[in-house]
Structure 1
Amino acid sequence: MGRIRITRGTTAIRRRGALAASALAALLLAGCTAGSPEPGAAPAPTTASPSAEPADGLTDPLVIVTTPGTGEFIAEDVQPALHESGTGPATFEVPQPESTVGSLQFFVTCASGEYTVTMGGFYSSGCSPDTANSAAIPIPQRDAPLTVTVEVPEGVAFRIVAVPV
Structure 2
Amino acid sequence: MASKLTSLEDAIARNVWDGCSIALGLALEHSIPFAAVHEIIRQGKRGLTLIGPISDMAFDQLIGAGCVGKVMAAWVGNVSHGMGYNFSRAVESGQVKMIDYSNLAIAQAILAAALGIPCIPTKTLLGSDMLSSLVAEGFAKLVECPFTGERMVMLKAVKPDVA
TM-score range, shorter chain: under 0.3
- Structure with the larger RCO, 1 or 2 (CA within 8 Å, 6+ apart): 1
Per residue, is there more strand in 1 or in 2? 1
| TM-score for both structures, normalised by structure 1 | 0.27
Larger radius of gyration: 1
Per residue, is there more helix in 1 or in 2? 2
